[in-house]
Amino acid sequence: MKFIRRPDLTPQTRIHIVMLAWLNQGVYGQMTQIAKAYHISRTLLYQLLLAATVQLEVLFSEQHRRQSPAASLEPLALL
């Protein structure tokens, strides 16, 4: 079976799915209902949740916060 990315699941739709899943985490049967509503597997739903959680952890990590805006512009100033 060949993998085909569904064109109807735009990035905005995927973000909406993840937000619904975060809001309903721990509620019995809600992940199944979200998966059925968007015609996706629960495996894909949990993969989306994992990817979004990792991105948030990277975004709000201490190392990312310590970097000042001036430090990120310094290499560009040398150009």
The number of residues making up the chain comes to: 79
Is the model more confident about 9 or about 2? 9
| pLDDT tens digit sequence for 56-71 | 888 888 765 666 666 6
**What 3-state class would DSSP assign to 52?**
helix
Give the CA radius of gyration of the chain: 18
- pTM beyond 0.75: no
